Amino acid sequence: MDMATGEFTASVESARNLAIEARGLVKRFDGTLAVDGVDISVPEGAIYGVLGPNGAGKTTSLRMLLGIIDPDEGYRRVLGAENPQDVARLIGYLPEERGLYPAMKAYEAIGFMGALRGLPLDVGRQRGKELMEAHGLGHAIDKQIRQLSKGMAQTVQLLGTLVHEPKLVVFDEPFSGLDAINQGKLEQLIRGLADKGTTVIFSTHVIAHAERLCEGIAIIAGGKVPYAGSVEEARDRIPAQVRLETRKREGPWRAALPAETRQVGDFFYFPLPDSGIEPLLKALIEGEAGIQSLSIERAGLHDAFVAIAGEAAAQEIVTGSEGDEA
């Protein structure tokens, strides 16, 4: 299978309907090519990440999928509709640019956002109160947005994105600006949505969130998608790495180490040989190398990203949570 087609494995797609399907999306702004042939397929009920550095084309791609802007070329289908606006009431969207009316009370803001998606205003306001209570913001129900902390206001906007109980939720950099505790709460919320059958797609430049949450990812770099598929398949592109520590540094056993071996102090690092670790172990034991430690570590998503998108794109990607990097 060509991973650049934006599809999961054939067995997954055949078993599940697609919430999102896009082929060859192209967008230009004032003659500049912002998105160049993006392909994405997201099964219903999946958590799917769009991963890439800032300016890679993530937001433009999401906006095309949602029908906020139209592609210059390409095809898209969202929840079975070729025009995403026809199913807008079934979609929740949290843009990267946050914005609420500062004079509006918190629960009213949630109800207002629901009304924009077709939910009766009184129903949305009642649900807003219930959602705020459920998420530890009961004390702030009647407060104006301007009276809330930044984190609380972000949570209110998030709840407004979900108040109409959408089938598809699209988050654009949802973890941006949240501290580590609130990032953890958001991860739990996303998992809860998926457990209920809601499809979640979010963009991020933080690898840790995608690695922990996502079933599938699309890597975007320079407006292109060099890889789209499962997280597991992305990691499998890089051979597992062996870390070996020996008491002796020299001996006939050194000939058994792969040619790619790097030595750092008392440690040797090399890809897991195709033949497995057993022949090497035999040589180490017979050569009396004195094995101090030996571990086999599977490649992480960051290593896969570097291999797929290149070092330049990877330099703008955050490995851990944003809170950790601050």
Of residues 77 and 314, the one with the higher pLDDT is: 77
Domains (ranges, CATH) in the chain?
Answer: 3-235 (3.40.50.300), 241-298 (no CATH)
Whether residue 40 contacts residue 4, with contact meaning beta carbons closer than 8 Å, is answered with no
Q: How many CA atoms lie within 13 A of 140 on its CB side?
A: 22
pLDDT at 297: 85
pLDDT band at 316 (very low <50, low <70, confident <90, very high): low
pLDDT at 4: 45
Beta bridge partners of 229: 217
pLDDT at 305: 85
CA distances from 238 to 3, 37, 133, 270 (A): 15, 26, 45, 12
pLDDT band at 236 (very low <50, low <70, confident <90, very high): confident
6 pLDDT exceeds 50?
Answer: no
Quick one: average pLDDT of 106-132?
Answer: 96
Q: Per residue in 69-102, pLDDT tens?
A: 999 999 999 999 999 999 999 999 999 887 889 9
Q: How many CA atoms lie within 13 A of 52 on its CB side?
A: 26
For residue 290 the two structure tokens come to 């004195």
Whether residue 39 contacts residue 62, with contact meaning beta carbons closer than 8 Å, is answered with no
Phi–psi pair at 244, nearest 5 degrees: -125, 135
Question: Judging by DSSP bridges, how do beta strands 267-271 and 291-297 pair with one another?
Answer: unpaired
Give percent of the chain above pLDDT 70: 90
In one-letter notation, the amino acid at residue 174 is P
Question: Judging by DSSP bridges, how do beta strands 199-204 and 47-51 pair with one another?
Answer: parallel
Average pLDDT over the chain reads 88
Q: Per residue in 174-214, pLDDT tens?
A: 988 788 888 898 999 999 999 999 999 999 888 889 999 99
Whether residue 209 contacts residue 321, with contact meaning beta carbons closer than 8 Å, is answered with yes
Q: Of the spans 65-74, 220-229, 249-258, which averages the highest pLDDT?
A: 65-74
For residue 57 the two structure tokens come to 């084309």
pLDDT at 5: 44
For residue 161 the two structure tokens come to 């994105």
pLDDT at 321: 59
Q: pTM of the prediction? A: 0.80
DSSP 3-state of 313: helix
Of residues 272 and 20, the one with the higher pLDDT is: 20
312 pLDDT exceeds 70?
Answer: no
d(CA 278, CA 269): 16
pLDDT at 49: 96
For residue 164 the two structure tokens come to 């109409």
288 pLDDT exceeds 50?
Answer: yes
For residue 138 the two structure tokens come to 């009961």
Q: Of the spans 14-18, 193-197, 274-278, 308-312, which averages the highest pLDDT?
A: 193-197
pLDDT at 27: 96
12 pLDDT exceeds 60?
Answer: no
pLDDT at 150: 86
Taking the mean position of all CA atoms in its chain, how far away is CA 261?
A: 32
Whether residue 305 contacts residue 317, with contact meaning beta carbons closer than 8 Å, is answered with yes
d(CA 326, CA 97): 20
Residues 6+ apart with CB under 8 A from 130: none
d(CA 74, CA 148): 42
Q: Per residue in 125-171, pLDDT tens?
A: 999 999 999 999 999 999 999 999 888 898 999 999 999 999 999 99
